[in-house]
Amino acid sequence: MQLVATLGPASLHLAPRIVALGASSLRLNASHMTPESLRSTLAQLRTLLPSTPVVVDLQGAKMRLGVFEPLPVHLDDRLLFSLDNSGVPVPHPELFRSVAPGETLSADDDRLRFRVEQVSPSSLAVRCIQGGTLRPRKGLNVLEHPVDPWDLSPVDQQHLDAALPFAPVAFALSFMTDGREAAWIRSRAPGCPVIGKVERREAVEAIDSIRASVDTVWICRGDLGAQLGPVPLARWFSGFRPAPSPPTLVAGQVLEHLTAHPLPTRSEVCHLADLLDRGFAGIVLSDETAVGSDPLNATSTAADLLSSLVRR
């Protein structure tokens, strides 16, 4: 049974203890790291944990906001998203080529929404239709349609290059469309496992193609829920059954309560038991270990639950 623990600000220094407590592999989210910090972190992990599998999670087609100070945004506030940092930075030229007035931008797993009012080649004038705190490096989607790249982005290429000296590492690619993206990694990193992340409507519709092209599948319910909506996500996920091969894991708020509390909710434990009964091969801890209040407790609790539920 696989337990993937994400390393982040709360846990980078705890990697050996997290593995000792039951994590079968460690995930590094490259979207929150520079190529230099990724390289130095991998060097440290290879020294401390030479045989522990490591997953480098690439941004893929997932668009993210740039770097800025957290910004409270209220209903009907007007903002400028910009390519040239004249407003809230969005370092994705493909967005400005693809979006049209009247369409909807969703930020931070659909916590905030914006209606596009004006479009230029380097800026979007938007109005807030669902407020909150807009935070740097959070995901950004167009609800009405996908925004697709044609190859690895320059940033993903830089992260892949930084990780290759420490191969074998696994590469997870965010926001896969239909599995063709696996070839982008295999051509650059032969022999490295590829993980396909299902977190958009197109991937749900092409799940069989993705399964055929990758070594492992992750069902990532955070961004997928933002794309589909909570009820359509629940309807699809309740009927989904993983294939025997490749192994399929569940990511996204699996034991979210552990991020800030010592114990998971009873609902989370019941859901975990259901996942294992349905044939999922394990889970991915995200915020629970990356930014949570007690990553060691989160890891040991998850490992104990997996072990107990498998034995029953």
Residue 137 and residue 83 share a domain? yes
248 with 283: CB under 8 angstroms? Answer: no
CB atoms inside a 10 Å sphere around CB 51: 6
Give the C-alpha distances (Å, rounded to integers) separating 213 from 181, 197, 259, 266: 9, 12, 33, 36
Residue type, 263: L
CB 175 within 8 A of CB 125: no
* Cα 194 to Cα 57: distance, rounded to the nearest angstrom: 10
Closest to 156 measured CA to CA, from 27, 12, 34: 34
Residue 211 token pair: 């399964």
* pLDDT tens digits for range 198-219: 998 899 999 999 999 999 999 9
| Predicted pLDDT at 60 | 85
**Among 95, 111, 142, which residue terminates a domain?**
142
Could you tell me if 169 and 261 lie in one domain? yes
- Same domain? 79 vs 16: no
Which residue, 121, 142, 163, sits at the end of a domain? 142
- Tell which residue, 32, 134, 26, has the closest CA to residue 89: 134
Residues 100 and 244 in one domain: no
Q: Determine the residue type at 131.
A: G
How far apart (Å, rounded) are the C-alpha atoms in residues 277 and 310?
Answer: 9
**Residue 162 and residue 192 in one domain:** yes
Say whether both 295 and 181 belong to one domain. yes
Residue 187 backbone phi and psi in degrees, to 5: -70, -25
Q: How many CB atoms lie within 10 A of CB 191?
A: 7
Which CATH number is 135's domain given?
Answer: 2.40.33.10
* 82 vs 25: CA distance, rounded Å: 37
**78 and 47 part of one domain:** no
Are residues 128 and 164 both part of a single domain?
no
Mean pLDDT, residues 178-191: 94
Domain co-membership, 170 together with 191: yes
Averaged pLDDT score across all residues of the chain: 94
**Please, what's the b/e burial string for 202-235 (b: 16 or more CB within 10 A of its CB; e: otherwise)?**
bbbebbebbbebbbbbbbbbbbbbbbbeeeebee
Q: Which residues pair with 23 in a beta bridge?
A: none
Q: How far is residue 262 CA from its own chain's centroid? A: 24
Taking residue 75's Cβ as centre, other Cβ atoms within 10 Å add up to 9
> Could you tell me if 94 and 220 lie in one domain?
no
Task: Assign residue 206 the CATH number of its domain.
Answer: 3.20.20.60
Domain span at 94: 66-142
Tell me the pLDDT tens digit for each residue of 83-118: 988 999 998 888 998 899 999 999 998 999 999 999
The span from the CA of 244 to the CA of 246, in Å, is 6
Condensed to tens digits (0 to 9), the pLDDT of residues 143-167 reads 888 787 778 888 899 999 999 999 9
Closest CA to 159 of 35, 44, 60: 35
Question: Taking the model in full, what pTM does it have?
Answer: 0.81
* Tokens describing residue 268: 């989370």
Query: Based on the domain organization, do 29 and 136 belong to the same domain?
Result: no
Query: Which of 77, 109, 142 is the endpoint of a domain?
Result: 142
Note whether 50 and 159 are same-domain residues: yes
pLDDT in tens, 3-45: 999 999 999 999 999 999 999 999 999 988 999 999 999 999 9
Count of domains forming the chain: 2
